[in-house]
Each structure stands twice: as C-alpha cells, then as structure tokens.
Amino acid sequence: MGERTCSDQFRGRARRTIAAVLILAIAACGRSSAPTDGASNPPTAKCAVKRVASYSTDWKPLPAAPIAVSAEVQAARDRLLGPGATDPAQVKLWWVGVASFIASMGGHLFLLDAWEIVGLHKDYLPLGREDLVAIAPEIIFIGHGHFDHAADMGYVAGRTGAPIVGGVTTCNNARGQAARDGNQDAFSCLLLGDANVPAPGTIQSIKIWKDMEEVSVLRHVHSAADPADLATGNLPLVFVPEILVFLQNLNTDPQEIQWFFESLDDEAGNSPPGGAWAYHFKVGDFTLLWHDSAGPIADGKDFAEDIQCALDSFPACVDVQVGTIVGFGAITSGLRDVSLYVQHAHPRLSLPNHHDAWLPVVGPGDESYEVQWRAEVASLPNAPELDYLKDPEDYLKVRNYWVNDPKWKEPMPGSSCAAL
C-alpha cells in the first residue's frame, strides 16, 4: 500500500532526467536566441489595420445560449470538465495537448483545434477523441491543418455535426477524415479563405453566435525556418527534449499507428494550403487571443508589418493570449517569432503551449522550454503575467476567468488600447 511502483519511480525520475541532448547547431549558449527584433519598435494605435469582408457569405450564426444538451452530453461534460462548464459568467479553458483547448465562453462550448495526441505514444493525455465527441462542442476552430492540430477534426465534426472553421483545404481534409465513418456530409464548414485570399495580415469579423460579439479572425503565417536569419546573427534554440515519456506510454495499437501515419502529410508544408488563422474572442470586457502557429513576423519579413499591426488592433485588445511557443523558426531564430506575437499582442496574461511531449524531439515537453521562455517573457517591455502550462499535469486542468473581473477593463500598458 502506498508504495510507488518501479514504473512510477522511473517516470518521476524521467521528468527530470536529461534523456538526450538536441543540439540544433554547433553554437550553444545560455540565452540561445539573439536579442529579439521589434522590442524597440512597438506598434502604435495609428497603424493601418487591414479589415476585409468575410470570405464566406452564407454563414448563419449559431443559436444563442443556453444550448440544451442531452443528459448523456451533460454527464460527459460534468465528468470531464467539472460542474458548471458553461457558466456564462466565466470564460474557461481546458488544455488538451499541443495547442488544442476545450473552451467555454458566453455559455457556449467549443474546440480550439482537435487532436488527441497519439503517435509514438498513446494515453499520455487523459482524454480521447471520443471524449471530444461526448462533450458535443458547438463548433471547432482550426488554427491550421497540420495533423498535430487537426487530425481529429473530421472524427469529431462527423459525429457531432459541429461546424469546422478553417481554410478551404482544411475543410476538405476534414471531410476526408470523416469519410472513414461515412460522415463526410454530416457537418458544415465556415470557410475563411483559400490559398490566395484573403492576404496574411487581414482581419475578418464573423458573427459566430447570435448572442455573442463578432469573432475577429486574423490570417497570419505558419512558422518557418529562414536560413538567412542565421546569417544575420540569429541563433537556433537549444533545448533538451524529453524522450522517455514516449517509451513509457508506447503506442501499440495498430489502428492508431495507421491513422497517425495517414495524418502525417496533412497540408505538408502548410503555407498556404489551408492557411494559418488566429482567433480573437470578446465577451463583456474580456478578450482572448488564440493562435497555434507563430510565423516569421520580424521587421522586413513578408506581411510582417500587417500582422504586427493586426495583433494590436483587435477590439479591446488582448487580455489573455494563448499561443504556441514552438515552431520551425526556432531552428534559425530561436524564440524570436513566438516572442514577437506576445510583444505585439500585448496580453495581460500569456499561456504558452505546443511545448508538451507530443512527438519525440519536436514536441519537447514543458521543462525543455521553461527557463528560456520565462527569461524571454521577463525581458519584454510590459511583460505579461505567465501561466506556464505543464504536461501532463495541466491537461484538462481548468483555467477560468470571471468576465466581470474589473481587471479586464484596464487597458494593458503598451497596447494600442492604452494609447487611446
């Protein structure tokens, strides 16, 4: 009784053990990235944000809350999310791996991305894609169509009828996924754009629900490595990934292994197939920005000026920013790009993600990034408060924000809202 098993002890040690050292370059130093661009050049309220009409013209807003659900769905929500999951007085977020979240706002329950993290390992996340179905999300917002964000969107949409919000290619992939179960026509898509339209750096405002304010959708760019950045003094991010967690939760299910390999090439290089989209939600004085990629938006890069401007031009700015801190840019410019999204969005509170152990080496585990990311954020002007998510401890652990909390009324120092 009470004795830790050998595997428990092994796991405990593994969390702190250096399993392998990934060195992405010959250079290694305490701070691996060059001084971040843009810190001395914050956007101003006077930048010209580019707003465009909705790409979809036939979208009908979803019903107002409260949304009646079956006793079965309610029981699944209570079991997985706790009681009062859709309390309209609060905004709630449950992290379910990589950049995927279950979210509740204004009495509505919805998904941000949809993937049960399965690959080399399985059952690391205490939730499966069937649970995402069981809670009956009203709608699924997809940041971009790579497998680690969207491999289960068709499974969930096909079984629940929840519409998918994303680019044309992403929607087509969702139908392909749902076709495995004959569900390819069981849901609609709210299409945001195709390969060319609208341009990165533009914002569309879309009435998603009848009773909610419009959601602002920013087209941005997927993360990318640019060797030219190394030539101009940037350095790669150096970190120590966790490996043992994968072996401890090894995936031995042939069906899961097959599905994983099938999903690997979804939107292979992304940019542009289904595009990359950041979503800004507002309820009362509370605002939430979620983005699951962070493209190269340093000064001088394509579309950088427009994206920087847009990040600081959302209605009532950004209180809580939920954003990736992992991307291909780490190879050639360290934390520069992921940091620039925080700098330009000026959140009051920042929740980093995508840094959990979801794929060996690429998905490094929270500890691999923590010291560097805390230092990076602390170095920012008007640094936000940091809620550093940990895996697996923070999976499904609710974050809740009271909509009427007076702190959301205060403009965040440095933001365009403070400049007004």
| Residues 248 and 17: beta-carbon distance below 8 Å | no
Closer to Zn ion by Cβ: residue 92 or 146: 146
The correct pick among 146, 159, 291, 336 for binding Zn ion (CB under 5 A) is 146
| Joined tokens for residue 21 | 């050292």
- Shortest spacing between CB 384 and Zn ion, in angstroms: 24
Least separation, in Å, of the C-beta of 240 and Zn ion?
A: 22
> Minimal distance in Å, beta carbon 148 to Zn ion?
6
Q: 359 or 389, CB closer to Zn ion?
A: 359
- Which one, of 312, 322, 341, lies nearest residue 417 by Cα? 312
* Smallest gap from residue 324 Cβ to Zn ion (A): 9
Is the CB of 160 or the CB of 223 nearer to Zn ion? 223
CB 312 within 8 A of CB 38: no
Could you tell me which residues come within 8 angstroms of residue 280 by beta carbon, excluding any fewer than 6 positions away? Answer: 215, 216, 217, 218, 287, 288, 289, 314, 315, 318
Q: Which CB sits closer to Zn ion, 134 or 221? A: 221
Does 355 bind Zn ion (CB under 5 A)? Our answer is no
Window 100 to 139, contacts with Zn ion (CB under 5 A): none
Stretch that binds Zn ion, among 146-154, 197-205, 237-245, 302-310 (CB under 5 A): 146-154
Q: How far is the CB of 144 from Zn ion (least distance, A)?
A: 5
Distances in Å between the Cα of 96 and the Cα atoms of 10, 138, 217 are 24, 17, 22
Shortest distance, CB of residue 74 to Zn ion, whole angstroms? 34
Q: Which is closer to Zn ion, CB of 85 or CB of 153?
A: 153
- Total binding residues toward Zn ion, as defined by CB under 5 A: 1
Asked if 374 contacts 386 with a C-beta cutoff of 8 angstroms, the reply is: yes
Q: Residue 110: enclosing H or E segment and its boundaries?
A: strand 108-112
Q: Closest CB to Zn ion among 146 and 291?
A: 146
Is residue 141 a contact partner of residue 113, using CB atoms and an 8 Å limit?
yes
Strands (E) across 183-311 are located at 189-191, 202-206, 215-220, 276-283, 286-291
Q: How far apart are CA 226 and CA 329, in angstroms?
A: 7
Minimum CB separation of residue 97 from Zn ion in Å reads 14
Name the segment binding Zn ion (CB under 5 A); options: 48-56, 142-150, 246-254, 360-368. 142-150
Nearest-CB residue for Zn ion: 146
* Partner residues linked to 291 by β-bridges: 323
Residues interacting with Zn ion, by CB under 5 A?
Answer: 146
